Amino acid sequence: MSAKIHYLTAKPEPIGHFLRIGSSGHRQLETLHSSGRVPVDRVVAEAASLKAQSELLGLFRNAGAEIVLDTRIAELSEQGSYVPSAQWLSSVNKTRPMTPRDFSADGSRRIAVEIATLAVANSVDAVLAPSHFVLDAGSPWWSIDLQLCMDLRRALDEMGGSDVRTDYSLTTTYGTLREPEQRRAFLAGLRDLPFENLWLRISDFGSDATPVALRRYISAVADFHGLNRPLVGDHVGGLAGLAVAAFGATAAIAHGLSEKERFDVRQWLMPSRLRKKGF
């Protein structure tokens, strides 16, 4: 006999959830999905892993799940997170992290076209517009990213991908997020951009957030509701992820399966030779 839940009030809406698929472990996800143990209807796939994970993505697609493409341009542009094998763009130098110079002149448009081509060819439902870590709105990456978002939307429309949604990922620190002046500057740049959902990837905030940090995060994020677009708490897992969604700070959360539940930009900014090695 199965238990039946009786709601005394209106049935609660489920929390929006995006499952981030890492570069490894997709075989385990295939097994879990086939056994009905991965009940998600939105997944985030990384551009460099699309071919290797095609079977898993096919399973999700056949089940009606939404596929979101992450180009990982941010990771490919930082010394500590750059991995040559993850550089899937053919139009850039694969021997080093990307720099603002790669996006100058017609570079932004060329990269946007390559992303749009990949998105249309793989029938994804949405693309995270390529963006970078910005410490504040004065970062040289900020204006580049705003232009990239516009170039990507234009490229998708021209290539038959008008039905592919573009989302924007704002990657910054918890300290910056709490500064009202910086929030106003970010909002001014984002207001007229062609995107539907705003993803917030905030360093030093995630699954291990304290009650005080949660309260401050929720308070700071409230300003972004002025954009009148859904917010996604990216790399936020555990009880903290449930809390930011339950209190209405974000419409959804995104994290991996026991990974990507917290974001720390310090690992990106240090040379790879200085990063901690596992056993």
Q: Of all residues in the chain, what percent carry a pLDDT higher than 70?
A: 87
For the cut 80, the answer to whether the pLDDT of residue 164 exceeds it is yes
What is the per-residue pLDDT across 62-104, written as a single tens digit (0 to 9) for each?
A: 889 999 999 999 999 998 999 998 899 998 889 999 999 999 9
Q: Of all residues in the chain, what percent carry a pLDDT higher than 90?
A: 71
Does residue 272 contact residue 260 with C-beta atoms inside 8 Å? no
Give me the pLDDT at residue 28, please: 72
Give me the pLDDT at residue 278, please: 46
Q: Which residues, in sequence order, are CB contacts of 188 under 8 Å at separation 6+?
A: none
Q: Would residue 106 be called left, alpha or beta, if left means φ above 0 and alpha means ψ between -120 and 50 degrees? A: alpha
Domains of the chain: 38-272 (3.20.20.80)
Does residue 38 contact residue 19 with C-beta atoms inside 8 Å? yes
3-state SS, residue 169: strand
What is the per-residue pLDDT across 230-256, written as a single tens digit (0 to 9) for each?
A: 999 999 999 999 999 999 999 999 998
Give me the pLDDT at residue 38, please: 72
- Between the alpha carbon of residue 150 and those of residues 120, 131, 146, 166, the distances in Å are 17, 12, 7, 10
Question: What does the block give as tokens for 246?
Answer: 């339950």
Give me the pLDDT at residue 275, please: 52
Give me the pLDDT at residue 146, please: 97
Question: What does the block give as tokens for 106?
Answer: 């017609």
Give me the pLDDT at residue 279, please: 38
Give me the pLDDT at residue 41, please: 87
- Segment 267-279 shows an average pLDDT of 62
17-38 b/e with 16+ CB inside 10 Å = b?
bbbbbbeeebeebbeebeeeeb
Of 189, 194, 184, 252, the residue nearest 223 (C-alpha)? 184
Q: What is the pTM of this model?
A: 0.90
